[in-house]
Amino acid sequence: MQKMKYNFLFVIGLMLVLGASSAVFSQTKLNKNSGILTVKTSPQSYPVKVDGQVIGMSGVSEEAVFYLTPGNHTVEVEGPGGQKFVKTINFEKGKKHCICLTVVENVKKTRCPYDIYVQGPAKYVKGDTIYFKAFNRVTDGAIPVNYAWSILPAGATIIDGLNTDTIAVSTKDTNGEQIRVNLDVNDGVYDEFCKQTIPTKTEAEEIKIPDPLRCDIFESGPFDEDKARFDNCVIQLQNYPDSQLYIILYEGKGITADRLGKRTLDYLVRTRGVDPSRIVITKWGTRPKTSVEIWIVPPGAQTPVPQ
C-alpha cells in the first residue's frame, strides 16, 4: 500500500483545571481581619480579578497572595483564548482560599483539504510549447483551491491556464536557459497552516548542430558520366528529409561552370524530380579542370566552406 504524506491543521482548545482548598490562617499574621486568597497557575501567569477589578497576576512557581475583606467576592482568572475561571467565594477572616489552575491543550489534527505537487517536462527544446500541471493528493478535498503561477526567465511566457491547475508555456523566446516555475496554492480558509509554495524547473535540451555531408567530388567529363554521380547523391538525399543538395562548381578547362550549372539544375529538376527549393548551385574559384563538389546539408547545419 502506498504511504501518503499529509499536511495537518492544528486546532487548539484550552481548558482550565481547578484545584481548591480552604485552611484556617494564623491569627497572629498581619491582616488578621482579612480573608486570604492565593492563586497559582501553570504554565504561565494570568490576570486575577476580584469583583471585576484586576488586583494582580497569578503566581507560577509560587502562589500569589491577596488579602480580601470578609464577605462574598467573585474571583476571576482570565486564561488564554478567552477562557475564564469564575467563582464566588465567601471569605472569612483568618481563612485562606487557594486557587490552582492548569492550562491543558487539547490538540485536534485535521488534514488540510489539499496537498499539491507539480509535474512538468524534465527538458524542453526551444520553440516548443510545454505544460506544467498541479495534482492534489487529497482526492476528497471539498474546498476549492486557488492557483497562482509565476515563471522565469522573462523569455518563457505563460500563454494559457494562468489561474488553473495546468499552464501552457511558450519557449520560443528563451536562450537555452533553465525554466523555473513557481506555484503558490491557497484556499482562503486554512492558509495559515496549509498554504503551499511549490518550485519546479526544466532544463533546455542541448541540440547538436548537424554537420554537412560531402557526397562526392569529381572533375566534370561527359555529362552522362556526371549524371551517374548526381544520381548517387540524389538517392542519398532521400535519406535526409528537408536537407539541401549543395553543389559547388569550380571553373577550369572544359565546360564552363555556368553552362554546367544550368545543365545540372535542369537534369535534377526535370529528370530526377528534385524540388528546386532543395538545390543550391554556387561557384568557388578555379581548378585545372571544371570540377563539381556535392554536399548534403541537413537543416541547421553550416554550409560548406572552401577547403
Do 142 and 190 reside in the same domain of the chain?
yes
The answer to whether residue 92 is domain-embedded is yes
- The pLDDT value recorded for residue 167 is 97
Flag the least confident range among 160-164, 205-209, 295-299.
205-209
Same domain? For 12 and 104 the reply is yes
> 73 and 135 share a domain?
no
Mean pLDDT over the full length of the chain: 86
pLDDT level of residue 53 (50, 70, 90 thresholds): very high
Task: Count the neighbouring beta carbons within 10 Å of the beta carbon of residue 205.
Answer: 14
- pTM metric for this prediction: 0.47
In a domain, 306, yes or no: no
- Among the residue ranges 13-17, 95-99, 144-148, 178-182, the one predicted with the least confidence is 13-17
Look at residue 132 and tell me whether its pLDDT is greater than 90: yes
Beta-bridge partner residues of 73: 89
- Number of domains the chain contains: 3
135 vs 32, higher pLDDT = 135
CATH of the domain at 229: 3.30.1330.60
- According to DSSP, the β-strands at 244-253 and 279-289 are parallel
Tell me if 302 is assigned to some domain. no
Please give the pLDDT value at position 237. Answer: 93
Q: 7-16, 120-129, 240-249: which range is least confident on average?
A: 7-16
Within a domain: residue 74?
yes
Please spell the DSSP secondary structure of 194-231, one letter per residue: H-EEEEEEEEEPPPPPPPPEEEEEEE--SHHHHHHHHH
Tell me what pLDDT residue 28 has: 36
Q: CA-CA-CA-CA torsion for 292, 296, 300, 301, nearest 10 degrees? A: -60
| Whether the predicted pLDDT of 22 surpasses 50 | no
| Same domain for 94 and 128 | no
Which pLDDT belongs to residue 31? 61
Instruction: Give pLDDT, residue 135.
Output: 95
The answer to whether 295 touches 212, Cβ cutoff 8 Å, is yes
- The answer on pLDDT for 10 being more than 60 is no
Q: What is the CATH number of the domain that holds 88?
A: 2.60.40
On whether residue 307 sits in a domain, the answer given is no
Return the CATH number at 187. Answer: 2.60.40.2410
Domain boundary among 61, 91, 108: 108
Q: Which pLDDT score, from 0 to 100, does residue 139 have?
A: 84
Is 304 part of any domain? no
- The reply to whether 18 and 102 lie within a common domain is yes
Mean pLDDT of 110-115: 86
Lowest-pLDDT range of 6-20, 58-72, 143-157: 6-20
Same domain, 221 and 175: no
Distance CA 177, CA 152 (A): 9
- Judgement on whether residues 121 and 196 belong to the same structural domain of the protein: yes
In terms of Cα–Cα distance, which of 245, 257, 179 is closest to 220?
Answer: 257
Of 204, 232, 266, which marks where a domain is finished?
Answer: 204
Q: Are residues 153 and 79 in the same domain?
A: no
Q: Are 127 and 22 in contact (CB under 8 A)?
A: no
Yes or no: say if 304 and 243 are a contact pair by the CB < 8 Å rule.
no
* Residue 305 included in any domain: no
pLDDT band at 307 (very low <50, low <70, confident <90, very high): low
- Of the ranges 13-22, 170-179, 242-251, which one carries the lowest mean pLDDT score? 13-22
Judgement on whether residues 91 and 133 belong to the same structural domain of the protein: no
Three-class SS string for 241-297?
A: CCCEEEEEEEEEECCCHHHHHHHHHHHHHHHCCCCHHHEEEEEEEEEEECEEEEEEE
Element (H, E) at 18: strand 8-24
For the chain, percent of residues with pLDDT exceeding 70: 89
Domain match, 103 and 119 both: no
104 and 13, same structural domain?
yes
The confidence band for 75, taking pLDDT boundaries of 50, 70 and 90, is: very high
C-alpha span between 41 and 187 (Å, rounded): 38
Stretch 132-154: mean pLDDT: 91
Residues 81 and 154 both lie in one domain: no
Residue with cell 535526409: 240
Range of the domain at 249: 213-297
Q: Is residue 238 assigned to a domain?
A: yes
Domain edge (last residue) among 53, 87, 108: 108
